[in-house]
Amino acid sequence: MGLLDKLETIATTRETLLPKGINPFNVVIEEIHSATEGTIDGHRVVLAGTNNYLGLTFHPSCIEAARETLLKEGTGTTGSRMANGTFSGHSALEKELALFYGCSSAIVFSTGFVTNLGAISSLAGPGDVIVMDADSHASIYDACRMSGAEMIRFRHNNMVDLEKKLSRLGPKCKNTLIIVEGIYSMLGDCAPLAEITALKKKYGAWLMVDEAHSMGVLGEHGRGLAEAVGVEQDIDFTVGTFSKSLGAVGGYCVSNHPELDLLRYVCRSYVFTASPSPATISSVREALRVINSQPQLRTKLWENVEQLYRGLEHSGFELGPDPSPIVAIRVPSKEKALLAWKAILEKGIYVNLVFPPAAPAGLFLLRCSISAAHTSEQIEYILKTFADLKPMMTDAV
């Protein structure tokens, strides 16, 4: 078998999976008009699948902060954090993130994916154990494999199964890292974090929470699920991304353990990856200030969430278990999901189409992500479009 022969199998699978003329996995947004509108295939559309939860990609002060830094410091660092890639902005943002979370230290990474890849594979290694929710993000799975630690999955949000797994580890719990997410990215459900922290303390394990989709969204100050349920003091490591509520690209890990700073010397995705551009860092610093000073954005986001979730629920769609900025509509088959996605786009709405293995439990999903920047009228249009096209998305005759 030649080196590239295996790719022919992928080509065959793609042709089988995707009918001619439909490719939801390579959509090009030709123009961006605002946080909620763009142009696709020459048509103006409502963007309802971007994870831009607070709409900060177009916030005037974030754009101005990035512009000023771009003019002062150029387009990029051209180096890793350990070489020439740590500018004053990187260090300032780390201090500001630590202050935001009430933690002693923070490390900024180039993306959310490499945050997980680096932090997890540096914290855990051969002889250690990682116990992770089965619905965890691909970056967490990859990090666990890279670490060399023993990897144990527990059934999604199933505390009986988690305790069973922990109880079997015995003394190894002191070398065990539990990893869960604040809001899970496919169905929009939350981890039962209060119960998880109780089990963590009972068995003497360590706990990491990925707040990628919950930072800026949950909690009185937007710190995420741990703040919302009052267990921040029980979280050993919090990781997150700049590419959701903060409207940019990058990632971070914060902790009260002083050893966190030592990860800079062993974390390969920190040592060997070019650091985020200065303009990006400045926009994130400003976005963090906006999250702190404008809680009304979070209020508006949740008003929009309720409007969409309850409207779809009233129309009889099968949704994720709870309202969140991720609203996932379950569709009974691949064929129906593909055709419905295309029809929705033709009506002027872009949503995400998610197939297994990205979607859990073999589900086919039309995934909306809602923003504080969406207007009530835009959400009403989304609801009307889904209601009109409902026969395409159900088994009903």
Which domain CATH number covers 188?
3.40.640.10
CA angle 340, 344, 347 (to 5 degrees): 140
pLDDT digit string (tens) for 87-144?
999 999 999 999 999 999 999 999 999 999 999 999 999 999 999 999 999 999 999 9
Residues 242 and 335 in one domain: no
Of 229, 371, 393, the closest CA to residue 315 belongs to 393
Q: What are phi and psi of 263, to 5 degrees?
A: -60, -25
Give the tens place of pLDDT for each residue, 183-242.
Answer: 999 999 999 999 999 999 999 999 999 999 999 999 999 999 999 999 999 999 999 999
128 and 244 inside one domain: yes
Cβ contacts of 167 within 8 Å, gap of 6 or more: 203
Say how far apart CA 93 and CA 89 lie, in whole Å. 6
Q: How is residue 116 written in tokens?
A: 């997980």
Tell whether 168 is covered by a domain: yes
- Would residue 164 count as lying in a domain? yes
Residue 69 is assigned to a structural domain of this protein = no
The answer to whether the CB of 279 falls within 8 A of the CB of 66 is: yes
* 247 assigned to some structural domain: yes
**How sure is the predictor about 396, in pLDDT bands with cuts at 50, 70 and 90?**
low
* Threshold 0.85, pTM exceeds: yes
Same domain for 160 and 224, yes or no, is yes
Is 322 found in the same domain as 368?
yes
The residue type at 315: S
Same domain, 258 and 300: no
Q: What tokens were used for 46? A: 């409502």
Q: Examine residue 148 and state whether it is found in any structural domain, yes or no.
A: yes
Quote the domain boundaries for residue 208.
Answer: 77-276
Same domain, 105 and 237: yes
CA–CA separation, 5 and 10 (whole Å) = 9
Contact 183, 225 (CB under 8 A): yes
Last residue of a domain, one of 243, 276, 309: 276
Same domain, yes or no, for 258 and 131? yes
Mean per-residue pLDDT of the chain: 96
User: What is the total count of domains within the chain?
Assistant: 2
pLDDT in tens, 179-199: 999 999 999 999 999 999 999
Helices 278-293 and 296-314: crossing angle, nearest 10°?
80
C-alpha to C-alpha distance for 209 and 354, rounded to whole angstroms: 24
Spatial neighbors of 11 by CB under 8 A, at least 6 apart, are none
Which tokens is 68 given? 């000023």
Q: How far apart are CA 75 and CA 280, in angstroms?
A: 9
Q: Are residues 200 and 301 in the same domain?
A: no
Contact between 193 and 225 under an 8 Å Cβ cutoff? The reply is yes
Kindly calculate the radius of gyration of the chain based on its CA atoms and give it in whole angstroms. 21
Strands 251-255 vs 326-331: parallel, antiparallel or unpaired: unpaired
pLDDT of residue 333: 92
